[in-house]
Amino acid sequence: MQELTHYIGGEHVKGTSGRFADVYNPATGEVQAKVPLASTDEIAKAVEIAAKAQPAWAATNPQRRARVMMAFVGLLNRDMDKLAEALSREHGKTLPDAKGDVQRGLEVVEYCIGAPELLKGEYTDSAGPGIDMYSMKQPLGVTAGITPFNFPAMIPMWMFAPALACGNAFILKPSERDPSVPLMLAELMEEAGLPKGVLQVVNGDKEAVDALLHHPVIQSIGFVGSTPIAEYIYGTGCANGKRVQCFGGAKNHMIIMPDADMDQAADALIGAGYGAAGERCMAISVAVPVGDETADRLIEKLVPRIEKLKVGPYTAGDDVDYGPVVTAAAKQNILGLIQSGVDQGAKLVVDGRDFSLQGYEDGFFVGPHLFDHVTPDMDIYKKEIFGPVLSTVRAGSYEEAINLAMDHEYGNGTAIFTRDGDAARDFANRINIGMVGINVPIPVPLAYHTFGGWKKSVFGDLNQHGPDAFKFYTRTKTVTSRWPSGIKEGGEFNFKAMD
């Protein structure tokens, strides 16, 4: 069995803690590798190396740092197939979806090539007699990120690309469920010209997370995962004086107005609800048709599309719609929530509980499910299922529909499908959710805008990627300078206004 490593100081390093986690092939249910879980001492060693490497990297001018990012983009494109295959093997998502995972991270790296422009400060000459003022955006130092299993390429790049472009060192603690791609990304960054020790990957569990949170040298922590853990990391990190950016759970609603193109809406729901087996924080898990007639028409369109979905391993070809979920525990959690929906009175229109794939009976596959007549008091509505389950909540009016989304504790993403520009405009203006789609089911912004939710989906005041990333990974220093002419005659002890 393969034994994975950490990547510390530019080398693959075996774990020394004696603790390991199993890495599964989700399609077969077999353990295909084991990954070391770092101790506090191993984290400390990585931080020590990062702290020594960071000053020289920070002193490298932004243009040269951008050239490393440019070379990294070329290497990502070169190794796209290799990265996607490794990602699919450990996560279970289809190859096209895995390539999309890499691509959306790559786009953030492309944005970071603009570091020389994004890191420019401000300057005011003659702010007072002989006085000039200017600001500098300087790196924080050693930074860290804790990333989830569902996007093992994209989210690490969302974090480390801007951090490195700003001149920081970065320690990545990826998910122990699919750690191979993050290790490969670190190798590619060094091939692109990044000095050794500036980007390191340390695998681990809560012990590693706590070591990062409490280490005094770490200046910032980024996190994506569940809301309870996001709250813990945010509170602990802030208490330790770190800059912290945490993204938590989601329950994304899509409102379908009576005037919507029902075929377009149904197709959008299929991709947004069942793609990647629903293991996306931006998945649409709640459809909200306005009016019973709209709901009936929508269900009529959805059922045949859902029944035609092809579920299988990534090796079965690019026409597979989605693969297994990541672990047996995830599968059992999903099936438990589905049963709770049945027990609490929702109508299970498409029942995938008996799904079994010949030859892959031990895999973590979950068939597609569609619920109708879901109500806000049900567990399948309140909780993030993170599986191929779409819940339909019927709304009697537009106001009732928008209030459903606004009253939910999560506020990551939402969408409305309509031909009415006034309704769309009102929805975009009023909704208390961070990312909004208008006839777009998964409104993930492109790299030059920022990604972030509201309410209990986010903890911190700056979003991921886009301009916010360069604010998060730098601190501003403002310099006031004066170069008097002539010979100085005595000291001045009064604070003078700059007029």
Q: What pLDDT is recorded for position 496? A: 64
Q: What pLDDT is recorded for position 311? A: 98
Name the average pLDDT for the chain: 96
Q: Are 250 and 272 in contact (CB under 8 A)?
A: no
Task: State the pTM of this model.
Answer: 0.94
Give Cβ neighbours of residue 47 (< 8 Å, ≥ 6 apart): 142, 171, 215, 217, 218
What gap in Å lies between CA 287 and CA 134, rounded to an integer? Answer: 51
What gap in Å lies between CA 197 and CA 9, rounded to an integer? Answer: 4
In single-letter form, the type of residue at position 24 comes to Y
Q: Has residue 2 got a pLDDT over 80? A: yes
Q: Say whether 112 is catalytic.
A: no
Residue 74's alpha-carbon distances to 11, 77, 158, 192, 415, in angstroms, are: 22, 5, 17, 9, 34
**Phi, psi torsion values for 213, nearest 5 degrees:** -65, -35
380 by DSSP, 3-state: which? helix
State CA 286 to chain mean position distance: 20
Taken in order of first residue, the domains within the chain and their CATH numbers are: 2-248+457-479 (3.40.605.10), 252-438 (3.40.309.10)
458 by DSSP, 3-state: which? strand
Q: Are 325 and 364 in contact (CB under 8 A)?
A: yes
Q: Are 212 and 244 in contact (CB under 8 A)?
A: no
Q: Are 402 and 427 in contact (CB under 8 A)?
A: yes
What gap in Å lies between CA 87 and CA 351, rounded to an integer? Answer: 29
Q: Has residue 499 got a pLDDT over 60? A: no
Radius of gyration of the chain (CA): 25
378-405: average pLDDT: 98
Q: What pLDDT is recorded for position 441? A: 95
Q: What pLDDT is recorded for position 134? A: 96
Residue with tokens 């970071």: 112
What gap in Å lies between CA 299 and CA 287, rounded to an integer? Answer: 10
443-451: average pLDDT: 95
Q: What pLDDT is recorded for position 119? A: 97
185-193: average pLDDT: 98
- Confidence class for position 415, pLDDT limits 50, 70, 90: very high
Q: What pLDDT is recorded for position 484? A: 73
Q: How many residues does the chain have?
A: 499
What gap in Å lies between CA 473 and CA 494, rounded to an integer? Answer: 37
Sign of the alpha-carbon dihedral angle for 401, 404, 406, 412: negative
Q: What pLDDT is recorded for position 130? A: 85
What gap in Å lies between CA 172 and CA 145, rounded to an integer? Answer: 5
Q: What pLDDT is recorded for position 4? A: 98
In single-letter form, the type of residue at position 32 comes to Q
Residue among 118, 124, 132 at smallest CA distance from 165: 118
What gap in Å lies between CA 158 and CA 288, rounded to an integer? Answer: 31
Indicate which residue of 112, 166, 246, 281 is catalytic. Answer: 281
Residue with tokens 């693959």: 12
Least trusted range by pLDDT, from 128-137, 284-293, 486-495 = 486-495
Q: What are 30-89's pLDDT values in tens digits? A: 999 999 999 999 999 999 999 999 999 999 999 999 999 999 999 999 999 999 999 999
State CA 318 to chain mean position distance: 24
Residue with tokens 């000095």: 195
Residue burial 146-175, b: 16+ Cβ < 10 Å; e: rest = bbbbbbbbbbbbbbbbbbbbbbbbbbbbbb
Q: Which two tokens stand for residue 478?
A: 């403002």
Q: What pLDDT is recorded for position 128? A: 86
393-417: average pLDDT: 98
DSSP 43: H
What gap in Å lies between CA 58 and CA 308, rounded to an integer? Answer: 53
419-429: average pLDDT: 98
Q: What pLDDT is recorded for position 1? A: 85
As a whole-number percent, the residues of the chain with pLDDT over 90 amount to: 95
- Confidence class for position 487, pLDDT limits 50, 70, 90: low
What gap in Å lies between CA 94 and CA 82, rounded to an integer? Answer: 14
Following DSSP, what letter does each residue of 52-120 receive, concatenated?
HHHHHHHHS-HHHHHHHHHHHHHHHHHTHHHHHHHHHHHH---HHHHHHHHHHHHHHHHHHTTHHHHT-
Q: Are 158 and 128 in contact (CB under 8 A)?
A: no
Q: Has residue 492 got a pLDDT over 90? A: no
Q: Are 223 and 208 in contact (CB under 8 A)?
A: no
Q: What are 168-183's pLDDT values in tens digits? A: 999 999 999 999 999 9
Q: Are 331 and 105 in contact (CB under 8 A)?
A: no
Residue among 197, 204, 203, 187 at smallest CA distance from 82: 187
